[in-house]
């Protein structure tokens, strides 16, 4: 299990599939998680299945299932009815496996426990996401949203054209026309509901996001004599992109933990608001104002700046401390280099983060646990995709985008 959870998050399904190979021989495996708004599907196996399985199909199965109760039956996956085995974890993460023919599912408690570790690991990795991961996730979310809008508009126009023709009084055979009209109308409804389902996955109501924050803070503060006052966001506030909601919760968690480490502290105030274009986050305390503001800014700025936000931290002796953050709800108009960042794969983004710190290939190889020749290969790919001639230029783009090396982890 250590090998499964220790590595790049986008490939966790591949590693888990290898872990299950002997216990459950299977042709395909899918992990569906709402934690990762950019890439909610983690897949491994038969391309004809994993490349065609849709969020709508997984979401439909997700809503039918009960936590901890396996699903062992046929359902529509990748456009066809297939025999699948699925399990819904307590985190809300779904595991779907297509067993090989005539294979009996065994060791269910072991696999359920192992998947629980995977699901919690995904949640923790997203909560502690590096700026590089955030940049990649937001780029993926934006690209998926753009593609969905284009395809929905195209198919909707086609279906509406068909409906217009079928409803024409100039056509004969009334019964066939009615049947075809009903089929096209049903397809149009399904198409629009699928697009809406994907938008719901990629966004979170601001009140829901704030409620989740309160649930996450409760165990962190249960043994600390600190009163927390919550100022709820407006109920009619704009929905938050998943990356913004996740980043806002992470900022508040970090600020609260920093505030709570002070000796003299009785009260913390947490407020969220929306001004139409930004999520406004404010955390205040009534401490003695002895907070290390420079350290907290360094800790928070990478995540905030990656999303195009602003951060202000102040601490006044005898008057307490304050963290204020504004995060845009709309993706900023991308410069050419930002668009190119979206072309980098997760490993290239990791290497780029190290280039931003000026590391040489050997040091990067040691940090990532890969060979120096592999680093050279990734550096060449980064330079080509960013359209730059030197490591320094690539590092400058990374710094401006808020991408830094994650020095706290090592990928095997």
Provide the β-strand partners of residue 76.
81
Pick the CATH number of 206-328 from 3.30.230.10, 3.30.565.10, 3.40.50.720, 3.10.110.10: 3.30.565.10
Q: How far is 368 from 362, CA to CA, in rounded Å?
A: 10
Domain coordinates in residue numbering, the chain = 2-127, 131-202, 206-328, 338-401
Q: Which of 163, 133, 363, 381 is nearest to 250 (CA)?
A: 133
**pLDDT at site 296:** 85
Q: Is the dihedral of CA 116, 122, 124, 127 positive or negative?
A: negative
Q: How far is 43 from 45, CA to CA, in rounded Å?
A: 7
Q: Is 277 exposed, middle or buried (0-12, 13-18, 19+ CB in 10 A)?
A: exposed
**pLDDT at site 282:** 95
Alpha carbon 182 to chain centroid, angstroms? 37
Domain 2-127 adopts which CATH fold?
A: Beta-Lactamase (3.30.450)
Q: Give the number of residues written for the chain.
A: 412
Give me the tens of pLDDT residue by residue for the chain, a chain 412 residues long. 999 988 888 889 999 999 998 888 899 999 998 777 667 889 999 999 988 888 888 888 998 899 889 998 999 999 899 999 999 998 889 999 999 887 676 778 888 999 999 999 888 777 666 555 565 566 566 655 655 666 666 666 666 767 676 666 666 676 666 777 777 777 666 666 655 555 555 678 899 889 989 988 888 887 778 889 999 999 888 888 877 888 888 889 888 888 888 877 888 999 999 988 899 999 999 888 878 888 888 878 777 877 788 899 998 887 889 999 999 987 655 454 555 676 788 788 889 988 888 888 998 988 888 888 889 989 998 988 888 888 888 888 887 776 776 543 333 3
CA contacts within 13 A on the Cβ side of 172: 0
Pairing of strands 227-231, 267-274: parallel
Tell me the residue ranges of DSSP E strands in 223-329.
Answer: 227-231, 240-241, 267-274, 278-285, 310-316, 320-328
**pLDDT at site 411:** 37
Domain 338-401 adopts which CATH fold?
A: Arc Repressor Mutant, subunit A (1.10.10)
Is residue 212 within 8 A of residue 242, CB to CB? The reply is: no
């Amino acid at each position: 299990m250590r090998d499964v959870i220790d590595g790049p998050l986008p490939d966790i399904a591949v590693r888990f599939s290898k872990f299950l190979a002997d216990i459950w021989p299977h042709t395909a495996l899918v992990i569906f998680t709402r934690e990762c708004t950019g890439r909610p599907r983690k897949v491994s196996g038969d391309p004809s299945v994993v490349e065609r399985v849709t969020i709508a199909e997984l979401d439909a199965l997700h809503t039918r299932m009960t936590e901890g109760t396996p699903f062992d039956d046929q359902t529509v996956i990748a456009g066809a009815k297939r025999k699948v085995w699925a399990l819904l974890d307590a985190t809300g993460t779904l595991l779907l496996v297509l067993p090989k023919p005539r294979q009996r599912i065994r060791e269910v408690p072991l696999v359920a426990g192992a998947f629980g570790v995977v699901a919690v690991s995904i949640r923790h990795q997203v909560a502690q996401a590096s700026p590089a991961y955030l940049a990649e996730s937001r780029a993926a979310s934006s690209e998926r949203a753009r593609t969905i809008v284009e395809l929905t508009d195209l198919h909707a126009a086609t279906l509406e054209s068909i409906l217009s023709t079928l409803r024409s009084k100039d056509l004969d055979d009334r019964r066939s026309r009615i049947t075809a009209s009903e089929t096209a109308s049903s397809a149009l409804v399904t198409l629009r509901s699928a697009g809406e389902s994907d938008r719901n996955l990629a966004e979170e109501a601001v009140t829901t996001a704030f409620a989740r924050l309160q649930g996450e803070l409760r165990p962190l503060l249960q043994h600390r004599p600190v009163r927390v006052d919550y100022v709820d966001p407006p109920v009619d506030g704009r929905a938050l992109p998943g990356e913004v909601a996740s980043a806002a919760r992470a900022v508040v968690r970090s600020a609260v933990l920093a505030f709570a480490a002070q000796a003299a502290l009785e009260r913390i105030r947490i407020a969220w608001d929306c001004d139409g274009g930004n999520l406004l986050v404010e955390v205040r305390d009534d401490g003695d104002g002895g907070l290390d503001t420079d350290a907290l800014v360094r800790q928070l700025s990478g995540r905030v700046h990656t999303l195009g936000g602003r951060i202000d931290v102040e601490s006044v002796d005898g008057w307490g401390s304050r963290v204020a953050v504004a995060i845009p709800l709309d993706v900023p108009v991308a410069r050419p280099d930002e668009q190119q960042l979206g072309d980098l794969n997760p490993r290239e983004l990791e290497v780029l983060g190290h280039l931003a710190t000026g590391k040489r290939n050997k040091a990067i190889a040691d940090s990532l646990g890969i060979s120096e020749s592999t680093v050279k290969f990734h550096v060449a790919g980064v330079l080509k995709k960013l359209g730059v001639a030197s490591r320094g230029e690539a590092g400058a783009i990374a710094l401006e985008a808020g991408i830094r090396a994650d020095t706290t982890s090592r990928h095997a």
